[in-house]
Amino acid sequence: MLLVTACGLFLLRLIQQHHTYVYNQTIDTLKRSNLAIQIENTVLPDSPENQRRILHVANLTDWHNAATTGSYKPSTFESEGFTHCCFDDQLSDILETYYSDQSDYLVLELTASNQNPDLKIERASNGDQYPHIYGSIPVANLIPVKL
Span 81-93, mean pLDDT?
Answer: 95
Length of the chain: 147
CB within 8 A of 17, min separation 6: which ones? Answer: none
What does the pLDDT read at residue 38?
38
CA angle 78, 79, 84 (to 5 degrees): 85
Residue 109 pLDDT greater than 60, yes or no: yes
7-11, 70-74, 136-140, 143-147: the lowest-pLDDT one? 7-11
CATH number for region 48-145 = 3.20.170.20
Which pLDDT tens digit goes with each residue over 8-47? 444 445 445 544 444 445 445 444 443 333 344 444 444 5
Per domain, the residue ranges of the chain are 2-39, 48-145
- φ, ψ of residue 100 in degrees (nearest 5): -65, -30
Query: Across all residues in the chain, what is the average pLDDT?
Result: 76
Q: What's the pTM?
A: 0.64
Residue 114: which of 46, 19, 41 has the closest Cα? 46
Ordered alpha helix ranges (H), the chain = 2-31, 35-39, 60-69, 77-80, 91-98
What does the pLDDT read at residue 137?
93
State percent of the chain over pLDDT 90.
54
